[in-house]
């Protein structure tokens, strides 16, 4: 017995240790649920209005003409009103939809034919009003293969008051028809509305959720994986989707050696939606682009601003690095700038979005054959600003401070303080554009198709970045 207990505890402990924090979260608040209710109710009303109610038929004995066959045809919904609607969270389960005081107006054609000779027949119309009714369903969400899916449960339709007005034909038939029609129409409408609710959730909503691109191509070389790591979590005031938030290069999709830290579900959000990126997401993106070879650039004389007093030729270095000019006078220079490791990104509530990068700057004399005359090491600390462009999260380097070291040289040692101004220029025209080339592009935030962000705001917490936004959905 003791061995079994130890084994169970060990398994539970290993499960806990092996669990991975999400790198990305999307949290829908009560305000977001309220908006989803408005969109969902309109969609459901449209479904019910368009529902095809089967024709009804049967036979009955009458005291006047005996046995008759009757039919109700072309039953259509003319109007539906849902004055009181609720969509609320059921913790640990999903969302509960409830529509109260629902009223429907329907119209149909009826006809009958006497069973035997002389086959008396007649026809007319019927108007049906249904009121004080309630419709409802639990909407359950789950993770399936990294994608979010949903299904209906406990669908409830209660059609309480049903009034029928028959027009045309003999008045003595009305009471007979009203009794028959009430039961038949009630059951037919009940069945069709249940099917409409189930279809609206199990098919339409589920298909809409599947338009969220959980996996994306970020250009030709890098992939982003926002697959869910668990079922959606439903709490009293919001529900949250936990996702990987992992970037990998296509040629080497192996995961990084580091793991995401824990991040909060929301940051006191008053908007409909909050999406949160941990440092992990930014650093896997940095690592992926580094492995993909996107963090290197060749700086040529054409890249230096025309107004710059320093040009990329050895003449400009005559008094700064005399040995270079002495050995290679009047020669053109190219500079190969490349990261020696992936830049690290930090997110801090006080200091904002910062990063550090280590790069090598190789000075090449353009003669035949080309000569690598010296290489400088650049350690840079950067400050950046995050912003949204459409539904893309992007960034821009706003400030850079660098430290320089001499890594290798074919012309001997020289005073690095003399090259500071040149390095600042090269960082400005080389390193900053190199990083901005990557982060200016931005990455798409995975959202439902045809959803756009409205008045988004970007904030920084300790170890994470969040976007607080309202949304607009266009069917």
Q: Count CA within 13 A, CB hemisphere, residue 43.
A: 18
User: What's this model's pTM, rounded to 2 decimal places?
Assistant: 0.85
Contacts made by residues 438-441, CB under 8 angstroms, sequence distance 24+: 438/289, 438/294, 438/295, 439/384, 439/394, 439/395, 439/396, 439/397, 440/394, 440/395, 440/396, 441/218, 441/219, 441/392, 441/394
Q: What local confidence, expressed as pLDDT, does residue 170 receive?
A: 65
Coil, strand or helix at 74: strand
Crossing angle between the packed helical segments 30-49 and 174-199, to the nearest 10 degrees: 140
Q: What are phi and psi of 257, to 5 degrees?
A: -80, -10
Per-residue pLDDT of the chain (475 residues; tens, 9 = 90+): 444 444 444 444 433 333 579 999 999 999 999 999 999 999 999 999 998 999 988 887 776 666 888 888 999 999 999 999 999 999 999 999 999 999 999 999 988 787 777 777 888 898 999 999 999 999 999 999 999 999 999 999 999 999 988 888 665 566 777 877 888 889 999 999 999 999 999 999 999 999 999 999 998 999 999 999 999 999 999 999 999 999 999 999 998 999 999 999 986 768 999 999 999 999 999 999 999 998 898 989 998 888 888 889 999 999 999 999 999 999 999 999 999 999 999 999 999 999 999 999 999 999 989 999 999 999 999 999 999 988 999 999 989 999 999 999 999 999 998 888 888 877 887 778 777 877 887 888 999 999 999 999 999 999 999 999 999 999 8
Q: What local confidence, expressed as pLDDT, does residue 4 receive?
A: 47
d(CA 249, CA 264): 28
Is residue 51 classed exposed, middle or buried when 0-12, 13-18 and 19+ CB atoms within 10 A define those classes? Answer: middle
């Amino acid at each position: 017995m003791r061995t079994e207990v130890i084994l169970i505890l060990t398994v539970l402990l290993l499960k806990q240790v092996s669990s991975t924090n999400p790198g990305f979260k999307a949290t829908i608040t009560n305000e977001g649920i309220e908006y989803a209710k408005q969109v969902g109710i309109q969609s459901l009303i449209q479904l019910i209005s368009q529902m095809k109610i089967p024709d009804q038929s049967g036979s009955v004995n009458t005291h006047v003409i005996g046995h008759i066959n009757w039919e109700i045809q072309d039953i259509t919904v003319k109007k539906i009103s849902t004055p009181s609607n609720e969509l609320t969270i059921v913790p640990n389960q999903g969302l509960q939809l409830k529509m109260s005081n629902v009223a429907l107006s329907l119209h149909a054609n009826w006809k009958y034919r006497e069973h035997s000779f002389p086959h008396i027949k007649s026809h007319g119309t019927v108007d049906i009003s249904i009121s004080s009714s309630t419709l409802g369903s639990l909407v359950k969400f789950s993770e399936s293969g990294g994608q979010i899916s949903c299904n209906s449960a406990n669908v409830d339709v209660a059609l309480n008051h049903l009034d029928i007005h028959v027009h045309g034909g003999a008045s003595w038939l009305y009471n007979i028809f009203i009794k028959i029609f009430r039961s038949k129409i009630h059951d037919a409408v009940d069945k069709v509305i249940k099917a409409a609710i189930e279809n609206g959730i199990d098919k339409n909503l589920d298909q809409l959720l599947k338009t969220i691109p959980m996996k994306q191509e970020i250009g030709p070389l890098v992939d982003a994986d926002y697959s869910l790591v668990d079922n959606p979590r439903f709490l009293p005031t919001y529900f949250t989707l936990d996702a990987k938030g992992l970037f990998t290069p296509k040629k080497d999709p192996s995961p990084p050696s580091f793991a995401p830290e824990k991040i909060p579900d929301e940051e006191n959000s008053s908007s409909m939606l909050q999406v949160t990126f941990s440092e992990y997401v930014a650093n896997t993106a940095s690592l992926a682009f580094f492995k993909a070879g996107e963090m290197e650039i060749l700086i040529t004389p054409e890249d230096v601003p025309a107004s710059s007093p320093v040009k990329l030729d050895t003449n400009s270095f005559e008094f700064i690095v005399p040995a270079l000019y002495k050995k290679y006078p009047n020669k053109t220079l190219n500079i190969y700038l490349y990261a020696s490791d992936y830049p690290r990104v930090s997110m801090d509530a006080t200091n904002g979005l910062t990063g550090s990068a280590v790069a090598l700057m190789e000075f090449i004399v353009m003669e035949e054959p080309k000569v690598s005359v010296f290489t400088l090491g650049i350690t840079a600390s950067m400050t950046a600003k995050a912003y949204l462009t459409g539904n893309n999260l992007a960034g821009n380097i706003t400030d850079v401070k660098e430290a320089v070291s001499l890594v290798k040289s074919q012309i001997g040692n020289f005073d690095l303080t003399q090259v500071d101004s040149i390095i600042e220029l090269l960082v400005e025209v080389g390193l900053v554009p190199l990083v901005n080339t990557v982060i200016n592009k931005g990455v798409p935030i995975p959202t439902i198709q045809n959803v756009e962000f409205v008045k988004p705001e970007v904030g920084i917490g300790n170890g994470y970045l969040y976007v607080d936004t309202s949304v607009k959905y266009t069917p």
